[in-house]
């Protein structure tokens, strides 16, 4: 039997426009096969119902995934009032109905209550770990869940319009760990009714916006173009929010080998070490010394 092809050493970020009806894992696998990449991962799961920005890291970019996961996210969401679902979105089964349909003014008046730092209970159908199991796996088995509240940041919860008496459209900007389905569920409860998400599109994750997002069909065409890596963003794109620290080639070699490098007059904290304009490592500066946390093999 021949040796299995493990793929090519592709490095960088791809901003994929995830299609509806597919899991994030499926989308990553499809993109990885198109690029024949040997390593890939994504930053921030999207539900199968959702579309939009799914940042995919290839090769050495996977070492910067946490910096994207911690970034701000933005969503466009559509809601239907008067009906709850067990998944809090249109893919689930109906669990209740209500005759109450809130109007524009009533919705607008309550939105400030859901902005800022708020406490939120994740949906039962979520990836939250409960005693080592994913909540969605337990929910599918019919198990009763008692998920704990968590503190999340909602920077913006804006009502865009009410196309019909039963529906409303919103724009949401939020921090890490915020569940849009929970926001909609809780807003509906505060309005004295029920509600669920009918459409969800993520428009931004950290530095990546939907303007940069490309579909799998477009990617399939681009991989055969003369410059097939033109659609990849550099590994260091994920590190735009931390200071860059230029080093000499000698200092970079020491950092790569695990040694600390003296950097007088440099403020303590995380840095992105470079040499000759090339990424070297994500590192920490403590008391004037820099030590590598993740070294890039580029």
- Domain assignments of the chain as residue spans, ordered by start: 12-71+207-236, 77-162+174-198, 242-295
Quick one: fold of 242-295? 2.30.130
Q: What is the pLDDT of residue 4?
A: 46
List, in order, residues 6 or more apart from 2 with CB less than 8 Å away: none
Mean pLDDT of the region 227-241: 82
Which range, 139-148, 217-226, 254-263, is most confident? 254-263
36 with 8: CB under 8 angstroms?
yes
Give the pTM: 0.89
Please identify every residue annotated as catalytic: 47
CATH topology identical between 12-71+207-236 and 77-162+174-198: yes
Question: In CATH, what class is 12-71+207-236?
Answer: alpha beta
- pLDDT tens digits along 150-165: 999 999 999 999 999 9
| Separation between Cα atoms, residue 46 and residue 205, nearest integer Å | 11
Q: How buried is residue 121: exposed, middle or buried, by Cβ count under 10 Å (0-12/13-18/19+)?
A: middle
Q: What is the pLDDT of residue 80?
A: 98
115 closest CA partner among 172, 69, 42, 169: 172
Q: Does domain 77-162+174-198 have CATH number 3.40.1360.10?
A: no
Please say if the pLDDT value at position 287 is more than 80.
Answer: yes
| Separation between Cα atoms, residue 214 and residue 15, nearest integer Å | 7
Query: Residues, the chain, total?
Result: 298
* Segment 190-193 long-range contacts (CB within 8 Å, at least 24 positions apart): 190/110, 190/113, 190/114, 191/81, 191/100, 191/102, 191/106, 191/107, 191/110, 192/98, 192/100, 192/102, 193/81, 193/82, 193/98, 193/100, 193/101, 193/102
| Separation between Cα atoms, residue 275 and residue 249, nearest integer Å | 6
In this structure, what is the dihedral angle of CA atoms 269, 176, 40, 139, given to the nearest 10 degrees? 140
Q: What is the pLDDT of residue 2?
A: 41
């Amino acid at each position: 039997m021949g040796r299995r092809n493990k793929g090519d050493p592709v490095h960088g970020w791809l901003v994929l426009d995830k299609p509806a009806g597919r899991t994030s894992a499926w989308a990553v696998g499809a993109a990885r096969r198109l690029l024949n990449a040997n390593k890939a991962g994504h930053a921030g799961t999207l539900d199968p119902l959702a579309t939009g920005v799914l940042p995919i890291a290839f090769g050495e970019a996977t070492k910067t995934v946490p910096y994207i996961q911690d970034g701000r996210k933005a969503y466009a969401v559509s809601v239907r009032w008067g009906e709850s679902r067990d998944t809090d979105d249109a893919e689930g089964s109906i669990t209740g109905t209500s005759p109450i349909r809130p109007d524009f003014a009533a919705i607008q008046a309550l939105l400030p209550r859901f902005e800022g730092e708020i406490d939120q209970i994740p949906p039962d159908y979520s990836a939250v770990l409960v005693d080592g199991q994913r909540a969605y796996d337990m929910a599918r088995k019919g198990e009763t869940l008692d998920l704990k509240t968590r503190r999340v940041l909602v920077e913006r919860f804006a009502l865009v319009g009410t196309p019909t008496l039963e529906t409303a459209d919103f724009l949401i900007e939020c921090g890490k760990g915020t569940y849009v389905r929970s926001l909609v569920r809780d807003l509906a409860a505060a309005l004295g009714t029920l509600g669920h998400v009918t459409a969800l599109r993520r428009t931004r994750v950290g530095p990546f916006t939907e303007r940069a997002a490309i579909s799998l069909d477009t990617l399939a065409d681009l991989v055969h173009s003369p410059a097939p890596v033109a659609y990849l963003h550099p590994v260091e794109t994920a590190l735009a929010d931390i200071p860059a620290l230029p080093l000499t080639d000698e200092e970079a070699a020491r950092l790569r080998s695990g040694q600390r490098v003296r950097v007088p007059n440099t403020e303590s904290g995380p840095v992105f070490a470079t040499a000759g304009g090339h990424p070297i490592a994500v590192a920490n500066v403590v008391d004037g010394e820099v030590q590598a946390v993740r070294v890039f093999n580029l």
